[in-house]
Amino acid sequence: MPDPITQIRESFGLISQADPELKKMATEEVNRLTKEYLTTDGSMKRNAFLEIRAGTGGGEAELFASELARMYERFSENLGFRLSLVRQNRSSIGGIKEIIYHIKGNGAYGFLLPEGGVHRVQRVPETEKSGRIHTSAVSVVVLPEVPEHELIINPKDLRVDVYHAQGHGGQGVNTTDSAVRITHLSSGLIVTCQDERSQIKNRAKALAELRSRLFKLENEKKSQELGQARLSMIKSGDRSDKIKTYNFPQDRLTDHRMKKNYSQLDKILNGDLCDIILAYWVWGLTSDLEVA
């Protein structure tokens, strides 16, 4: 029996048929097979870490980061995934400077992976009195969860610090040293977690995130050694390094990789992302095929 990717490519070829009924059936089959691929392929069906960070644009970027966080929360819930907060840094105006989720569910990494990159927003901020459209940017990083047996970390290479968890504005949210900061000495990576009241649970979450980040570094190193050109999901978080633009005045989302536009931003920001993500995967797996 052909593998899912081969089946996707074969079904995709039927979309060019003139018969509307056959075209509809082929499109539905492509979407079904793509979902199957994301939940059965070993590398795609993992749990995931999702990081959202405000970039260029100050307060407006922080507010949009908050909207993206809500969008991914609803999208994940629609697919039956379980979200847990690893850490967050909220701004004084109600936005988000940085937030990291652990997302658990079959295919979580595969479904969220296409969202990794810089998301640009164009709109008139509420604080803009002249009505001028501002452009801001938010970076999104998606990492696969790596089981402990796949990447063993030497305890001697770790420095673990504990401290009081901090709430908005820096106030202590509990009276015990439950927050955990882990430094990986050889790579310099630092991860923190204070979401749980238990130091043990925070340590486990932080170690899981650290394994994912070390896994990503290791894969990038291997790619470079093999002479492969590998682009990072994000570079500087600058507006120019974008994968999507959310244009509010024109009610349009543009995916710059597929060169495709979508309308109804309100639905998209309410978590209606599945069709867009499936379209991206189909585009990636069939981009060398021609359809009339």
Q: What is the 3-state secondary structure (H, E, C) of 1-60?
A: CCCHHHHHHHHHHHHHCCCHHHHHHHHHHHHHHHHHHHHHCCCCCCCEEEEEEECCCHHH
What CA–CA distance (Å, rounded) separates 137 from 239?
Answer: 5
- Reduced to 3 states, what is the DSSP secondary structure of residue 244? strand
**Bridge partners (DSSP) listed for residue 10:** none
Pull the structure tokens for residue 265.
Answer: 């931003």
- Reference 215, options 259, 184, 242; nearest CA is 184
Identity of the residue numbered 159: R
**Predicted local confidence at residue 33, as pLDDT:** 93
Domains in the chain (CATH in brackets) are 48-146+232-286 (3.30.70.1660), 155-225 (3.30.160.20)
Query: For residue 160, how far is the Cα from the chain centroid?
Result: 27
Query: What pLDDT tens digit does each residue of the chain (292 aa) get?
Result: 667 888 888 888 888 776 888 888 889 999 999 999 999 998 899 999 999 999 999 999 999 999 999 999 999 999 999 999 988 999 888 899 999 999 999 999 999 999 999 999 999 987 676 778 999 999 999 999 998 888 889 999 999 999 877 655 444 444 457 889 999 999 999 999 887 778 888 999 899 999 999 988 887 776 565 444 333 444 444 455 799 999 999 999 999 999 999 999 999 999 999 999 999 999 988 887 755 4
Q: Taking the CB of residue 257, how many other CB atoms lie within 10 A of it? A: 15
Tokens 């536009």 — which residue? 261
Q: Please report, in angstroms and rounded to a whole number, the separation of the first and last CA atoms in the chain.
A: 28
What CA–CA distance (Å, rounded) separates 104 from 82?
Answer: 5
**Predicted local confidence at residue 170, as pLDDT:** 46
Contact between 40 and 4 (Cβ < 8 Å): yes
Identity of the residue numbered 150: E
Beta pairing class for 158-163 and 82-90? unpaired
What CA–CA distance (Å, rounded) separates 101 from 83?
Answer: 6
What CA–CA distance (Å, rounded) separates 88 from 179?
Answer: 13
pTM for the predicted model, two decimal places: 0.82
- Reference 213, options 192, 238, 197; nearest CA is 192
Q: Taking the CB of residue 6, how many other CB atoms lie within 10 A of it? A: 12
What CA–CA distance (Å, rounded) separates 191 from 207?
Answer: 8
